[in-house]
Amino acid sequence: MYSLHTYRLVSGSDHVALLHTPDRKTKWLKVLVMRDKALGVERVPASERDHMRELLHKGKPYPMARALKVLRKFAKAHGSSKAARDFIREAMPK
């Protein structure tokens, strides 16, 4: 299952992140982040989940299809890693 959150990285800047939420309890979470130069996947400790806020659009949870469209457009313009492309492909609604 995937959900959208804003996430503050160590650098202190906010990034829109697509978070893979596993069905089971894990120590690490896989997060897709928009950096200045490219789209990438990072592994963060599960405890960081407490510091994430859900991304909203007009007061409702941000639509996944809309987010994926924005992420694909960003990746096309700025580049992305293979892991990021695979992450987006997995998150696509079937």
Residues in the chain: 94
pLDDT digit string (tens) for the chain, length 94 residues:
677 676 655 555 556 677 776 666 788 888 888 877 788 888 888 887 777 777 788 888 888 888 888 888 888 898 988 988 888 888 776 6
Q: Which CA distances in Å does 21 have to 29, 36, 73, 74?
A: 7, 24, 23, 23
The answer, as to whether pTM is greater than 0.75, is no
Q: Which of 58, 44, 60 is nearest to 21 (CA)?
A: 44
64, 23 in Cβ contact below 8 A? no
